[in-house]
A = this chain, B = another copy of it.
Amino acid sequence: MGQKSAKAAGVETLSTAKESRFDAILDSAETVFARSGYEGATMREIAERAGVAQGLIHYHFKTKEVLFEAMVSRRSKQINEGRAALLDRIMEQGETPDLEPIVEALFRPTIEAGISQASNGGAFAQILVSTANSAQEREQLLTEKYYDPIAQKFISAFMEVQPGLTRANAVWAYMFAIGVGMTMMAKTGRPARLSDGLCNDGDADEMLIKIVPFICSGIRALS
């Protein structure tokens, strides 16, 4: 999988660099899958939004399912490299690290992957949420393939800094942490509705300030 030439070794690496149609399709897919879900999204709409003929998508990705996985693969690799880098830097210091920065390392790269692609309003985060919560096989296989390995790293980190935590409880802790994080990524607008505008799930930094202590305290309760 992957593009054949990718404007090989081109001089243009600026943010203004005209991206390849290959990447334009993936960007468009991200937006459309996020808004409409896997079944609801249509190849036609993805093509239109990317400004290419529908046939080109099939030329590059063969099927809708392959396109979906390629889109997940691209962004999740970027995110999980960031998460692994942050976690490694935290864990390789001399003394036992705090829990807080570990939990923050869990979420920050996902948030930043969303806002750098400013236009699409955290589209991938929404795909992540529905993928992670799905009981369907396609989504579970993607979670297993792209997210279980990094999950194991965080679970081990939890156990390392919280010696009282059994492996089972560390796994529960990880799952609960992800569950809390979902409320930040889903962007449902519900917090604002329930609080008459006091809370805003659009501001990730505001949420992290609440989420990190909540989760860390929860994890310590399981230790």
Whether A180 and B176, one on each chain, are in contact in the complex, defined by CB atoms closer than 8 angstroms, is: yes
> Is the Cβ of B171 less than 8 Å from the Cβ of A140?
no
Which chain B positions have C-beta within 8 A of A174?
194
Query: Does A176 contact B172, Cβ atoms closer than 8 Å?
Result: no
A151 touches B37 (CB 8 A): no
Which listed segment binds B: A72-80, A90-98, A106-114, A128-136? A128-136
Contacts of A54 in B (CB 8 A): none
A147 and chain B: residue at smallest CB distance: B190
Task: List 9 A-B pairs, Cβ < 8 Å.
Answer: A130-B134, A132-B190, A140-B189, A148-B190, A168-B195, A172-B199, A172-B210, A175-B190, A213-B221
CB < 8 Å neighbour of A217 from B34, B136, B183, B217: B217
In the assembly, how many copies of this chain are there?
A: 2
User: 4 closest A-B pairs (Cβ-Cβ)?
Assistant: A217-B221, A39-B39, A214-B218, A39-B40
Q: Does A87 contact B (CB under 8 A)?
A: no
Pairwise interchain contact A191-B217, C-beta atoms closer than 8 A: no
Please state if B213 and A215 are interface contacts (CB–CB under 8 Å). no
Pairwise interchain contact B148-A193, C-beta atoms closer than 8 A: yes
A167 in the interface, Cβ–Cβ < 8 Å? yes
Q: Which chain B residue shows the least CB distance to A213?
A: B221
Chain A window 180-194, contacts with chain B (Cβ cutoff 8 Å), 1 for yes, 0 for no = 111100111111011
Verify B130–A130 contact, CB threshold 8 A. yes
Question: In the complex, are the beta carbons of A193 and B144 less than 8 A apart?
Answer: yes
